[in-house]
Amino acid sequence: MADTKTVSGAAYSPAMDAKTHEQTYRGFIRFVEIATGVVICWVLALAVGGIREAWLTAIAGVVAASVAGAVGALAPAVGWKAPLVVGLLLALYLAFA
């Protein structure tokens, strides 16, 4: 947290911005979770394209992962679970196709 002893003036209050700091931290953590899931999906899509020679499926996987990341970012209840579904589908395709 901020060092309140060096701030001059009576306008500063630690309670004034603690809630904002917590919201920013939660938002950052949420972004990192979703972005990590999307990047893992992109890597799996590249593996599908490179190993299985299914480049159209790989492109569809990249697009689906990007859309899932946007849905996860806009719907807090969904969050990182949307890219997880795409990642599982890509991993299953990579394993069994």
Q: What does R_g of the chain's alpha carbons equal in angstroms?
A: 20
Closest by CA to 94, choosing from 46, 60, 56, 37, is 46
pLDDT tier for residue 64 given thresholds of 50, 70 and 90? very high
Q: Does 70 reside within a domain?
A: yes
Q: Does 91 reside within a domain?
A: yes
Q: Does 42 reside within a domain?
A: yes
Over residues 58-64, the mean pLDDT reads: 97
CB atoms under 10 Å from CB of 89, counted, come to: 16
Percent of the chain with pLDDT over 70: 84
pLDDT tier for residue 1 given thresholds of 50, 70 and 90? low
Q: How many domains does the chain have?
A: 1
pLDDT at 43: 97
pLDDT digits (tens, 9 = 90+) for 19-56: 888 999 999 999 999 999 999 999 999 999 999 999 99
Quote the domain boundaries for residue 72: 38-96
Q: Does 4 reside within a domain?
A: no
Q: Does 33 reside within a domain?
A: no
Q: Does 87 reside within a domain?
A: yes
pLDDT at 2: 59
Q: Does 19 reside within a domain?
A: no
Residue 41 near residue 90 (C-beta atoms within 8 A): yes
Q: Does 76 reside within a domain?
A: yes
Long-range CB contacts for residues 48-57, cutoff 8 Å, separation at least 24:
48/90, 48/93, 48/94, 48/97, 51/94, 52/93, 52/94, 52/97, 54/93, 54/97, 57/93
Q: How far apart are CA 31 and CA 16, in angstroms?
A: 25
